[in-house]
Structure 1
């Protein structure tokens, strides 16, 4: 579709994620919904080969792949027969783990339960001019989702040892994924995602995160540092209170820069010399605005966030099924046409 606009070159993304100036602004997304892929291609995009071809056709220099694991989480589902996937959300009230007895009964996944087959297939198929991003996350999120946020919030104070053990058990399994991915030579970037903030502020006290969450993030960061590959961290919300903690964990790039939470100009001014920035183009605008509005918004980000390099262009979360496909394509096309240095 857009192959004629720019040559694929993973080095472009690699440099940007290291906060260096590349030849042009690269594209990045945490995910693109299957329905959007189908609308663009006219057919489902299912296999690794199809996914690689899809990403290339739009100008992305990478393929993001996750290991597979079954985590029994406390989630409710809203079925939508018109879509290819169901929408789910976490229950605030119900708990799968609420005390030591339910903790002992909970079926924690084991390291040997993790499936890396899609990653291994991607490693065999990826072209030389593209790179693979190994991505997973949600140590913090999995803990509170399993306990239910109300129970989690109370047990932080009433049963701190139980909460700490939840972080240890879940953290150990998810960290092991990154250990394995870091040993795969074809994995060129590690990406950890875990929302710790709302648009109004952090979900919990920063000292709690420093005790239970950031040590895991730092361990993953050390894996990336040892390989000398970029390390992306994704969290929605306002992160100013813990930005120094994030930097201390070896994170080289921050995603997704929700505009309702953090202003892109302020981020660039305060941290543009310390960390690369990824995303930021408002998902609400991508869902509701006109294509002209999206093109102008993208130009604004090219001008502000893209100044002197260190910005990968994309949405302020991921490409969802409710976005206008023409807006997604307008954002991508504007970057490819106007994002060269």
Structure 2
């Protein structure tokens, strides 16, 4: 069995079958600032891949899924920042010493304009075979990545690979802006519902082409519809507008023999039953500050859904090793019987000490072996 096949088996045993593999599967998402600090801390070559270095199991590789293929058109550039227009039509400012970009303006100003917004061909070869500088792949940096196809070829024999797509809300706020979209949801829900179906059609086209080009095990669906206190809008509205779209995405992914990971930040407990009904197999990232405790959630939902994430990034960035160790050993209880992949509760940020993170991975590999003793 090849290394990739071993990792695929480990991931599916834990997350799909809800059983115990040899050890808990591992992966994470990383800010570019952390990766830079990590390489400096351990005197590593610039080309070092953290996933290979720690022999992690899962790698998520995404194509350019911007509505317009032409992404990141530079409007202004200085030594300190760059201003660009993204393929979503929004104008974005990226300060090179800041972790995330600022959204300055949105080209769509009304629900009516949103309905008239058009998407480029989801199967356009440029999305998959040209270098990527789109907003989803380069959200906390402004660099150029290898093409989707090149990244797949480089990693297909090393990792359990997942592709990714966005559900409609995640797509629409980048086109309309959060304030404008929330206003439209309240005043013009039928128009938003109609556009959500167009977004879903587009993302299904992206997913179909990813699956054709890559040996994927699953697909991540990006969908932030909540913050740390609850939903951005009513659960009733989510069920009416977005549930049918998420179900269509999950149904298609399952029809291709893949599993689904739904990445939803914040406290989305009010729609958790709906996400399970829609076909979500794994929920991520389980933000600690939002009360998304994987140990507690597994007790309630663990026979119907698996979990990925949950390790408090506030502790990773600001706590000492004893606090981090206590957090990890507690969260690993969710892995008893399978059904859990430990990771940060969003991504590994720039303020995380590389030495602490290195010890964290060592602890997960040591204590994450079955039978667990935590």
TM-score by length of 1: 0.85
Tell me if structure 2 keeps the 8 A contact 1:294–1:330: no
Contact 1:28 1:279 in 2 (8 A): no
Deviations 1:168-193 (A, max 9, x none): 33332222111222334511111111
Q: Is the 8 A contact 1:233 1:255 kept in 2?
A: yes
Question: Which secondary structure does the structure 2 equivalent of 1:140 belong to?
Answer: helix
How far off its partner does 1:95 sit?
4.6
Which one is further off, 191-200 or 160-169? Answer: 160-169
Aligned-pair CA distance for 1:199: 1.2
CA drift of 1:337 comes to 1.3
Residue 321 (str. 1) matches residue 350 (str. 2) = yes
Partner of 1:88: 101
Name the structure 2 match of 1:62.
58
Work out which of the residue numbers 196, 215, 219 in structure 1 matches 2:244.
215
Unaligned runs of 5+ in 1: 1-6
Q: Please state how far the C-alpha of 1:100 moved relative to its aligned partner.
A: 6.0
8 A Cα contact 2:15 2:338, kept in partner: no
Q: Return the alpha-carbon distance in structure 1 between the equivalents of residues 350 and 271 of structure 2.
A: 31
Distance, in Å, in 2 between the alignment partners of 1:190 and 1:144 is 21
- 1:257 is aligned, of 286, 293, 296, to 286
SS in 2 for 1:134: strand
Q: Work out whether 1:239 is the aligned partner of 2:252.
A: no
User: Could you say what secondary structure the match of 1:340 adopts?
Assistant: coil
Q: Using the alignment, how far apart are the partners of 1:150 and 1:328 within structure 2? A: 36
Q: Which residue of 2 aligns with 1:152?
A: 181
Alignment CA distance shift 1:279-1:100 (3 Å) = closer
1:60-94 superposed Cα distances (whole Å, 9 cap, x missing partner): 113210111343254553513x46xx622446xx5
How many residues were matched structurally? 322
Q: For 1:271 and 1:320, locate their aligned partners in 2 and report how far apart those are by CA, in whole Å.
A: 29
Per the alignment, do residues 310 and 187 of structure 1 end up closer, same or farther by CA in structure 2, a change over 3 Å counting? Answer: same
CA distance in structure 1 between the partners assigned to 2:103 and 2:240 by the alignment: 24
Whole-angstrom CA distance in 1 between matches of 2:46 and 2:334? 33
Deviation for aligned residue 1:104: 7.1
The 3 A distance-change label for structure 1 pair 112 and 185 is closer
Aligned counterpart, 2:46: 44
**What is the Cα deviation at residue 286 of structure 1?**
0.9
